[in-house]
Structure 1
Amino acid sequence: MPVRTSYVAFATPTLTVAGKLNTMANAPGPTPGVVICHGSDGVDGRGEFHAAALNAAGVATLEIDMWAARGSARGAAARPRSPVETLPDAFAAKAFLAAQPEVDGGRIGIMGFSWGGVVTLLAAAQATQGLSGDTPGFRGHVALYPVCWAYEQVPGLSLADLTGAPVLIQTGDADAYDDPDGLDQLMARLPPASRAVIRGVTHPGAGHGFDRDLPAQTIVDPFAHKGQGGPVLMEFHPKAARRARELTVAFFEEALGA
């Protein structure tokens, strides 16, 4: 299906956020949509990697640039203090996407990487739904390597009371932010109601940013190594990347009725 690409901007309560909007040019009716949230390194190709597959499945995408809106440089040292500060960006993006005539406003999901993965999960919490205004919350959430150790540990980061929309968390067992079984540890900390709507997948041999098809890069992040801080290797893992993309598309096809 042909894709129409538009470069757009929309308002949050305090900022104007830019984004890349892909809609279906010849769809017979409004399609589902997905908001895509980048990681600490900003928009770097990961969003496009997944957007192409979602568009091929008939799902519109809106990848937003949270850093440019704040005039901040890329990387852990320049980002806001907490992903909570960027939650309004995600909900405003949902409202903007829902207003597009090519998009079914009742079938919008969200996905993100690392920082954007944290935003994606927090958008599933009951406590954040006031940011959605008078419209329903996101219909599905896909978080890739969203720093699993932090939930129920860091103030403001909780998955204990969720909306009930389905959630898919994907991480790797070589991710330096967490233990190899960090996702299992997270699930064990959550109440049964949260576990019931979350599906977790750990990709063997994959590290942080495993779907980032760029030269390997070592970063330093105070949230790494379960909050002790230190270096993190971000390296492309082709097998895990392909599998994660397949699972993401299949998840949204089911959750959004694509």
Structure 2
Amino acid sequence: MTFAIYLSPRKAFAALALVVACVGVCTGAARAQSPAGEPAALHQVELPLPSGTVLRAHWWPAPQPSSAQASASVQPAVLALHGCGGLFAKAGVLSSRYRETAETLHAAGYAVLMPDSFGSRGLRDVCQTRYSDRSLNVNDRVQDARAALVWLAAQPGVDARHIGVMGWSNGGTTTLNLLVQRLTRPREGEPTLAGAAVFYPGCGPLLKHQAVAESIPLLIQLGALDDWTPAQPCVDWAGTLKARAGSDVTVHVYEGSYHGFDGTAPVRLRGDVPNGTSAHGVHQGGNPTARVQSLAALQSFWKRVLGTPTAP
């Protein structure tokens, strides 16, 4: 298992130049195929759930080669799970974090599926609701993810042997609980996972119950100052996973960073969120250096576990 505490300004500046160059090229490539300005080849799909709920999702099939072999081409895919604020900004468009993720992954050659767990149930966000009062819990979202994985693996252009899952905050917590449930309650028809990556999940219950997760490559990225979903329970829980033979767990803890360090918004105190470590609220906002390092680590992780897709 690998643990790292980051922040070297000189190295961060070099990484910034690399990531910005890549994102600029990638975003341009994606938008060239999408006159409407959305991430390329955007589709909205509906996935019926056993509960009767129809799960809506945003779907970006991977770019396909233009040769005669295109019909035989399959590419890796990533299932991405939103945080407690939902998929959308106030204007009804994808939040910048998810748009950037979709564009970057798609331009790298991966298919991307983003389920809308909240909007599918008439919710916008749940950040301001106490955990105990939420009508939609993590287990519900795990069931969404499991259904989405089955759907994703069945798509003609998806390489079912190379599917990754990622999530932010509530979506990160969902991802980790997904790995626990897949181990303890396996379900026929679900694809194997190549890896999972999470940003600032909540790990308290997992640590308390000493939960054991599916043994796949796992990247956990945390903010050292996070007072919403503190880093230490995740660091400690990740340590328990190390006891399993062949574990592949990487934990990055970013100094001087709060919840949402991978974003670009300034840090602010949110007194409307009742689920942190303080009665006064929680801090949320980006850290430019941590953002660069965490996105570079994520990019490297996907390349390692999903491979390099066939060039279109």
TM-score class, shorter-chain normalisation, is: 0.7 to 0.9
Distance in 2, Cα, partners of 1:179 & 1:24: 35
Distance in 2, Cα, partners of 1:134 & 1:35: 16
Richer in strand (by share): 1
Distance in 2, Cα, partners of 1:23 & 1:174: 37
1:253 offset after TM fit, Å?
1.5
Distance in 1, Cα, partners of 2:76 & 2:113: 11
Distance in 2, Cα, partners of 1:124 & 1:183: 14
Distance in 2, Cα, partners of 1:173 & 1:194: 28
Which residue in the other structure is 1:20 paired with? 58
> Aligned pair in 2 of structure 1 residues 69, 178: CA closer, same or farther (>3 Å)?
closer
> Aligned pair in 2 of structure 1 residues 199, 222: CA closer, same or farther (>3 Å)?
same
Q: TM-score, normalised by structure 2?
A: 0.72
Distance in 1, Cα, partners of 2:119 & 2:242: 37
Counterpart of 2:238 (choices 187, 197, 206) is 187
Kept in 1, the 8 Å contact 2:83–2:171? The answer is yes
1:76-109 deviation per Cα after TM superposition (whole angstroms, max 9, x unaligned) = 3174453112101111111222222221122111
Paired residues in the alignment total 252
Distance in 2, Cα, partners of 1:178 & 1:7: 31
Q: Residue 115 of structure 1 aligns to which amino acid in structure 2?
A: N
Distance in 2, Cα, partners of 1:146 & 1:195: 23
For structure 1, the 5+ residue unaligned runs are none
Kept in 2, the 8 Å contact 1:117–1:145? The answer is yes
Calculate the aligned-residue CA RMSD, in Å.
2.6
Kept in 1, the 8 Å contact 2:84–2:170? The answer is yes
Distance in 1, Cα, partners of 2:282 & 2:107: 33
For structure 2, the 5+ residue unaligned runs are 1-28, 31-39, 88-94
1:176 offset after TM fit, Å?
0.6
Kept in 1, the 8 Å contact 2:197–2:298? The answer is yes
1:222 offset after TM fit, Å?
4.4
Which structure's relative contact order is higher, taking Cα pairs within 8 Å and 6+ residues apart? 2
Kept in 2, the 8 Å contact 1:183–1:202? The answer is no
Which residue in the other structure is 1:90 paired with? 145
Which residue in the other structure is 1:231 paired with? 281
